[in-house]
Amino acid sequence: MKIGRFNDGRIGVIVGDTIVDVSAACGVDPAEWPPVGIIRVIANFERLRPAIERAAAGPGVPLSAVRLEPPITWPRNLLALPNNFADHSAEMQGRSYAGAGNSLGANAAGFFMKAGSSIVGPSDVIRIPDMPEREFHYECELAIVIGKPATNVTAAEALDHIFGYACLIDVTMRGKEERVMRKSITSFTPIGPWITTADEVGPTDDLELQLWVNGALRQHAFAREMIVGIREAVELCSSIMTLEPGDIIASGTMAGVGPLTAGDSVRIAIDNVGSMTLPVEAAKPLRFSFAGHLQ
């Protein structure tokens, strides 16, 4: 099943090139705040699934006639893996950027966090601060969406705790500041275009992740190339914290990262999951100056 959000918080199931409003079948009030109805749907999916499938058999509207929103906007945890493809770690070795090199270099392991408030959706815009002295990069990633609470889950058990997958762009300001800050700028985590449930995605080893800028392919890899694989990522993260339904783990990116500038168009696609294209616009420079704080 492909399930997402559209038109101010409605829950929709994507059927071909249409979307069917299943908000009522899910018991979700689109006007609720905070907008966490989709997380309740994920948490209760096995119980709700028959009613959702009955509703999804009804009439839909063309996808082109709605505004798709990020499938999840308020995850409790938005986690991401660094240096998880060998070719990307290699390309980052020895690089330095204005504001100095990466704070942790290409050897960092484990995971980091991005702010949930950096999430935008497939109909949104990536807004890059107008700071010509800095580089702002795209990173093509797979979003792993947790379906069931997970504490100290083994890799062998991990698939039981995964709800589905989505495309995720980990937009990143290069530089020496804390990674979490450079990656948490508003609009720096596009997720979408919806969540495809794990049963519909099927085996993940051959999933191909691809990203284009202005129509030119910049990144591509297969999920099997992840150093910490999908199952191991759940084991790793759940060994540190309890993962909850709706939590997201970003896979890490592959070689080919590069700068985004205003006017660009970024497309990300993952087999059996979906694709989305976002424009890039300029935003005001970051108000705070870091120059005097860096050593």
Closest approach, Cβ 257 to Mn ion, in A, equals 8
Closest approach, Cβ 81 to Mn ion, in A, equals 7
**Any residues with CB less than 8 A from the CB of 284 and at least 6 apart, and which?**
129, 130
User: In angstroms, rounded to a whole number, what is the distance separating the alpha carbons of residues 223 and 164?
Assistant: 14
CA angle 2, 122, 244 (to 5 degrees): 60
Nearer to Mn ion by Cβ, of 60 and 256: the residue is: 256
Among 21, 124, 139, 235, binds Mn ion (CB under 5 A): 139
Residues binding Mn ion: what is the number (CB under 5 A)? 3
Residue 89 found at the interface with Mn ion (CB under 5 A): no
Among 253, 268, 270, 274, binds Mn ion (CB under 5 A): 253
Other C-beta atoms closer than 10 Å to the C-beta of 251 total 29
Closest approach, Cβ 282 to Mn ion, in A, equals 22
**Any residues with CB less than 8 A from the CB of 288 and at least 6 apart, and which?**
none
- The enclosing H or E element of 6 equals strand 2-6
Binding mask 166-205 for Mn ion (x = CB under 5 A): ----x-----------------------------------
Distances (CA, A) of 116 to 112, 187, 281: 13, 10, 21
Nearer to Mn ion by Cβ, of 63 and 250: the residue is: 250
Query: Which residues form the interface with Mn ion (CB under 5 A)?
Result: 139, 170, 253
